[in-house]
Amino acid sequence: MPNNQTKRLAHGAMMIALFTILIAIAFYVPMISLIASLFAPLPIAWYSAKYNRSSSILVAVLGCIISFFFGGLIILPFSFIFAAIGVVMGDALRLKKSKVFLLMSTGVTILITLAIEYLISLKLLETDIIKESLKLMRESYSQAMTLSESLTGQQSAMNAELMNVLFDTMETTIPASITIAVFLLAFIVITTNLPLLKRFGVNVPKFSAFKNMRLPKAVLWYYLIVLTINLFISPEAGTALFVICLNFSVVLWLLLTLQGISFVHFCLDAYGSPSFLKVLVTIMAIPFYSFFVLIGIVDLGFDIRSFFKGKIQK
């Protein structure tokens, strides 16, 4: 028992030191900051996968405190996010959860930590980071348009009214944009760190092949509800219902597009098509996303995969 305790303390100290080094590199070394950021949750996740939750949280808190001494208050939000990711990832691995659960829990954790830090910045610093960023983008784009017109002597293709509509839409869809970006980040972090954790002796789950992806049918019902509201109620721009419907629509469009791409990959693979066709289909899904949304709806609503399997076998 004393040996186990000593081993746990030594492992925890080593992970705290490694976490602090990675956070410092990510914050202070521009050339490799992105790589260090992706691997910053690794030490905490490794520790959390081997030991209980309370010990893992303590190690994460100590890692944040020590990183604070290296970078001050400005580095604390940065270290807090990656420490939380590490704890949640490791805990899910220790409990032998599926990779989908790992992705969802990691994404939700990032959203919660970002929301906490956003509220702190509003209350304590009295600074709205999102509004300030959008304001800076508006000013930068307006200056760029003015400079372009003065140099070329021609009016810009986008006038001030069109620019305002564009930025208003961006501001309205911020919740959906942040959600998509967060889960993309969670997927990248998981994909980057799981192979290393496996080499360190941690049992890691696997995603099923993309061609077999099947979203819950509830996604289809959510889409139909939002579509019905937009068709029959037509909420006015700026209202709470309009904002909710628009953000849900963006997320649901993306999910159904992915479902449509998955189905096309399934068909191509079933017919033994070359791999470059899958790449081409994925690229074509960007301009023709509406078509892939329709395929995704049909794939979720009807069991057409079984129909295609029967045709292929014949």
Quick one: average pLDDT of 174-193?
Answer: 91
Q: pLDDT tens for residues 89-120?
A: 999 999 988 888 899 999 999 999 988 888 88
CA distances from residue 139 to 131, 156, 187 in whole angstroms, order as listed: 12, 15, 33
Q: Provide the pLDDT for residue 160.
A: 64
**Confidence (pTM):** 0.84
Q: In the chain, what are the domain boundaries?
A: 2-127+155-199, 210-313
Fold classification of 2-127+155-199 (topology level): Arp2/3 complex 21 kDa subunit ARPC3 (1.10.1760)
Q: pLDDT tens for residues 192-234?
A: 999 999 998 888 888 788 888 888 888 889 999 998 998 888 8
Q: pLDDT tens for residues 237-273?
A: 778 888 889 899 999 999 999 999 988 888 888 777 7
Q: Provide the pLDDT for residue 174.
A: 86
Q: Provide the pLDDT for residue 1.
A: 46
Report whether 263 contacts 299 (CB < 8 A). yes
Q: pLDDT tens for residues 59-96?
A: 999 999 998 888 778 888 889 999 999 999 999 999 98
